[in-house]
Amino acid sequence: MAETHHFHAHKLFSMKGQVAVVTGGGSGIGLMTTQALAANGAKVYIVGRNVEKLETASKEHEPDHGEIIPIGNIDVTKKADLEKLVKQIEEKEKCIHLLVANAGVPGPKAEPDKSEAGELKDKLWQGESVEEWNDTYSTDVTSVYFTTVAFLPLLQAAVEPKGPGERFSASVITTSSMSGIMRHAQGHFAYNTAKGATVHLTKLMSSEFMKLGVRVNSIAPGYFPSEMTAKSSDDRQKSDLPDEKVADKGHVPQMRGGRDEEMGMAMLFLAKNTYINGEIIAVDGGVLNMVAGR
């Protein structure tokens, strides 16, 4: 039975003594997640292909209490790289408590803005390629699955049953998207389809991996500042998404993009609340109240 002092935020969301792995952790939502976890005491391994980007993120956002450790030259779409990654972490850690499968790409874009079938076919046929669709799915869905599978032994190693309520002490958070829940294509048929698959994959893994004591949930972000939405990042690996650019879309009730801290709150919530499993949490400023969903 909880006393009032048990509800202090620093107790509810402390990550002290926990080890996390964040793929795509060098910028955007991955970096926001990394900052939130490390600021609350976690040791966070950030993973990606670009060594310089990861090292910059680690150096520029070094926390007071936790730790950010870059591991570069890792392509999460390749099994050999994932095996190499797991081995590197196994050499340093007995377990990991959290995996954030965040790496993703935007894929091709072709607006379905023609009302004549022949014109629409030509625009979509020429605007996207099979290779681009496959690359998008490989990064946004397939890599999420194999990254999670690769880390299952290290995740289960963190599960220490202390009673009926303490079993699910390791978890996975996937980064899906509001785009995987809505019917509006936004010109991103490949990306939205892939993110829809990520949503369902999250539910499948949640159900199947319960036997291991591993929770799986997903954050479905709306518009947040990242290299995907802003097209670039600064010398500290941060991106800027002006409020007016989001407000002009006309379907964001908050009239702005999400803030870094808001993404951090959502990630900490799923990381720490062991009574949540198999959920997709939209952090979208109310977009899904305005745009038709599934």
What residues are labeled active site? 176, 191, 195
Phi-psi region of 250 (alpha: psi -120 to 50; beta: other; left: phi over 0): left
Task: Name the residue with tokens 């939130």.
Answer: 36
Which residue carries 């996975």 as its tokens? 172
**70: Cβ contacts below 8 Å, ≥ 6 apart:** 26, 45, 46, 51, 54, 55, 57, 58
- Residue found under tokens 């391994």: 45
**CA dist 55 → 21, 27, 96, 134 (Å):** 15, 11, 21, 30
CB crowding 84-107: b at 16 or more within 10 Å, else e = ebbeebeeebebbbbbbbbbbbbb
As a whole number of angstroms, the distance between CA 150 and CA 166 comes to 24
Q: Distance from first CA to last CA of the chain, Å, rounded?
A: 40
DSSP 16-47: TT-EEEEETTTSHHHHHHHHHHHHTT-EEEEE
Instruction: Return the residue matching tokens 């629409």.
Output: 120
